[in-house]
């Protein structure tokens, strides 16, 4: 324990905190000194946060997974320390990729084989292309019940 006293000035979910931080920035000098937020919001705050890598020993930073530190870095500055790791997954319907009509339409439009995306550009193109397609083999998903 350091003996430091902390006054919590706001305790909200990250979406509401994001809105509040933007309002604080717009209103003038920010009066609070420590904040918590999701890594996806940090790039919007400009130079609000200091570069923590100048204040935290490398031996401490080495305890973190490099990918989470990368997600906490904006314009070369480590602006946050991750307290949890958030993993998002993408799923795809194999029937959409296996459908011969989709494969032909994709090849005609994009000049390549239809396959799960390997880049964000491919992902974007497929997000636009696939919802307009129907498969001849599509089956409705079974209802999920809670027990």
Predicted pLDDT at 10: 86
The DSSP secondary-structure symbol of 140 reads P
Indicate whether 108 and 66 sit together in one domain. no
Q: Is residue 125 part of a domain?
A: yes
Indicate whether 74 and 98 sit together in one domain.
no
What is the C-alpha to C-alpha distance for residues 44 and 21, in angstroms, rounded to an integer? 10
Examine the domain organization and report whether 64 and 39 are in the same domain.
yes
Model's pTM, two decimal places?
Answer: 0.53
Cα separations in angstroms, 79 against 6, 40, 49, 121: 20, 12, 6, 28
What pLDDT sits at residue 106?
95
pLDDT at 147: 45
Query: Domain check: are 43 and 74 in the same one?
Result: yes
Whether 65 and 104 map to the same domain: the answer is no
State the residue range of the domain holding 118: 94-132
The C-alpha torsion from 96 through 100 and 101 to 106, rounded to 10°, is 70
Within-domain flag for 61: yes
Q: Are residues 21 and 69 in the same domain?
A: yes
Q: What is the pLDDT of residue 38?
A: 80
* 23 and 65 fall within a common domain: yes
Same domain? For 69 and 103 the reply is: no
Tell me if 28 is assigned to some domain: yes
Q: What share of the chain is helix, strand, coil (3-state, %, to 5)?
A: 40, 5, 55
- 64 and 25 share a domain? yes
Residues 102 and 56 in one domain: no
Residue that is last in its domain, among 78, 104, 122 = 78
Residues 25 and 60 in one domain: yes
In a domain, 5, yes or no: no
Same structural domain, 65 and 99: no
pLDDT at 139 (0 to 100): 52
The predicted structure's pLDDT at residue 82 = 82
Block means of pLDDT (10 residues each) for the chain, 147 residues, are 83 90 90 82 85 94 90 90 78 90 94 94 92 61 50
Closest CA to 102 of 139, 141, 129, 123: 129
3-state secondary structure of 27: helix
């Amino acid at each position: 324990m350091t003996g430091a006293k902390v006054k919590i000035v706001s305790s909200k979910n990250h979406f509401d905190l994001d809105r509040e931080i933007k309002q604080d920035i717009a209103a003038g000098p920010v009066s609070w000194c420590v904040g918590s937020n999701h890594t996806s919001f940090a790039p919007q705050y400009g130079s609000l946060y200091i570069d923590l890598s100048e204040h935290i020993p490398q031996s401490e930073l080495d305890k973190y997974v490099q990918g989470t530190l990368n997600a906490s870095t904006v314009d070369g500055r480590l602006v946050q320390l991750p307290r949890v790791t958030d993993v998002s997954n993408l799923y795809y319907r194999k029937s959409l990729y296996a459908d011969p009509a989709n494969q032909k339409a994709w090849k005609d439009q994009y000049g390549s084989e239809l396959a799960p995306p390997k880049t964000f550009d491919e992902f974007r193109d497929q997000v636009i292309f696939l919802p307009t397609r129907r498969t001849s083999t599509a089956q409705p998903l079974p209802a999920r019940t809670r027990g």
